[in-house]
Structure 1
Amino acid sequence: MQIKTMAGFTLLELMIAIGIIGILTSIAIPSYTGYIAQSNRTDAKSSLLQLAQLLERNYTEAGYYNKDSTGTAFSASPPITNSPQSGTALYTLSWSLSYGTYTLTATPVTGTVQAKDSCGSFVLDNFGTKSIASGGTNATASSCWAH
Structure 2
Amino acid sequence: MKSGFALKKAVRGFTLIELMIVVVVIAVLAAIAYPSYQEYVRKARRTQAKADIVEYMQLAERYHTVNNTYVGFTLEAQQQRSPREGGTAWYTIAINPAATANAITLVATVSASTAQAKDKCGNLSISQAGAKGNTKGSTADCW
**Structure 2 length-normalised TM:** 0.80
CA separation in 1, counterparts of 2:59 and 2:116?
25
- Counterpart residue identity of residue 102, structure 1: I
* Structure 1 residue identity aligned to 2:108: A
In the alignment of these two chains, the number of paired residues is 134
Query: What secondary structure does 1:79 align onto?
Result: helix
Deviation at 1:78, TM superposition (A): 4.2
**5+ unaligned residues in a row in structure 2: which ranges?**
none
2:139 to 138, 141, 145: 141
Map Cα deviations across residues 32-83 of structure 1 (whole Å, 9 max, x no partner).
111122122221111111111111111112111113xxxxxx45x5433363
Are the aligned partners of 1:64 and 1:100 in contact in 2 as well (CA < 8 Å)? yes
Match of 1:10 among 7, 11, 15: 15
- TM (norm. structure 1) is 0.78
Query: What value does the CA root-mean-square deviation take over the aligned residues?
Result: 2.3
Larger Rg: 2
Answer 1 or 2: which has greater strand percent.
1
More helix by share: 2
- Taking every aligned residue pair, what percent have the same amino acid on both sides? 37
In structure 1, list runs of 5 or more residues that go unmatched. Answer: 68-73
The one-letter amino acid paired with 1:140 is S
Counterpart CA distance in 2 for 1:106 and 1:81 is: 11
